[in-house]
Amino acid sequence: MTDIADARTLIQEEETRYRAPTSESMFTRVGGAINHIMNRQYDTHSFFLNGRYKLGAGTVNLDGLYVFQFDVEVVAISFGNAVPGNTGNTTIDIHKLTGGGTDAGSIFTVKPVITTSAGADSYAAENYETATSVSPSGYTLPTLTSLNFDQFDALRFDLDSAMTGAENLFFNIHFRPR
């Protein structure tokens, strides 16, 4: 069977009035609207390091844990920083925790990296649903081990390396129920 094309179309009052004939057009609109919502509805969790960041005490679990409340699939990621550093690279790592706190390891096979050649206020992003991305100079896009997480899995934000003098790092994970 073929999916109805997702479309943000409004249902007309005349199509739903009492004694109005049921029309294929109305059901196509309803199906298109439902598919539009299911294909485009998502939630986002953001990890932030505001101000200057560096390695040292507290480079594990830097911005708290995020616990999924239902089974999800990741549809996109984005990351960047406002001010690139002078030397080194910033390497982000996100660990998956299961069973109330068991560390299942990194969610990446290739970790996201930002180098000193990244521009100010720049970012990289990848949309897994549309298989599109933006990755300017100075960025390495990550490869995720899986796009699926189960209810009560948690994410922990860690830094493996940090550029000297870099500021305002962020990592966003965009997901939807599955």
CATH label of the domain that carries residue 54? 2.60.120
Q: Both 10 and 69 in a single domain?
A: no
Mind listing the pLDDT tens digit for each residue in 60-83? 777 889 999 999 999 999 999 999
| 58 or 18: which leads in pLDDT | 18
pTM given for the model:
0.82
What is residue 23's predicted lDDT score, i.e. its pLDDT? 67
Q: Both 49 and 91 in a single domain?
A: yes
| 5 or 59: which leads in pLDDT | 5
Q: Both 113 and 74 in a single domain?
A: yes
Q: Both 36 and 74 in a single domain?
A: no
Stretch 2-28: mean pLDDT, rounded?
74
What is residue 124's predicted lDDT score, i.e. its pLDDT? 98
Nearest to 119 by CA among 140, 138, 133: 138
Q: What is the 3-state secondary structure (H, E, C) of the chain?
A: CCCCCCCCCCCCHHHHCCCCCCCHHHHHHHHHHHHHHHHHCCEEEEEEEEEECCCCCCCCCCCCEEECCCCEEEEEEEEEEEECCCECEEEEEEEEEECCCEEEEECEEECCEEECCCCCCEEEEEECCCCEEECCCCEECCEECCCEECCCCEEEEEEEECCECCEEEEEEEEEEEC
Q: Both 151 and 85 in a single domain?
A: yes
Structural domain that includes position 96: 43-177
Six-digit token pair at 70?
A: 């239902």
Q: Both 154 and 70 in a single domain?
A: yes
What is residue 1's predicted lDDT score, i.e. its pLDDT? 82
Residue 54 pLDDT > 70: yes
Contact partners, residue 22, CB within 8 Å, separation at least 6: none
Q: Both 11 and 95 in a single domain?
A: no
Query: Into how many domains does the chain fold?
Result: 2
What is residue 100's predicted lDDT score, i.e. its pLDDT? 82
Contact partners, residue 13, CB within 8 Å, separation at least 6: none
What is residue 27's predicted lDDT score, i.e. its pLDDT? 74
Q: Both 7 and 82 in a single domain?
A: no
Q: Both 55 and 112 in a single domain?
A: yes
Q: Both 98 and 52 in a single domain?
A: yes
Mind listing the pLDDT tens digit for each residue in 100-141? 889 999 999 999 999 999 999 999 999 998 999 999 999 999
Residue 28 pLDDT > 60: yes
Q: With bands split at pLDDT 50, 70 and 90, how would you rate the model's confidence at 58?
A: low
Taking the alpha carbons at both ends of the chain, their separation in whole angstroms is 20
Stretch 166-171: mean pLDDT, rounded?
95
What is residue 85's predicted lDDT score, i.e. its pLDDT? 92
Rounded to 5 degrees, φ, ψ at 21 are -65, 140
Q: Both 61 and 26 in a single domain?
A: no
Q: Both 120 and 58 in a single domain?
A: yes
Stretch 40-53: mean pLDDT, rounded?
88
Q: Around Cβ 74, how many Cβ atoms within 10 Å?
A: 20
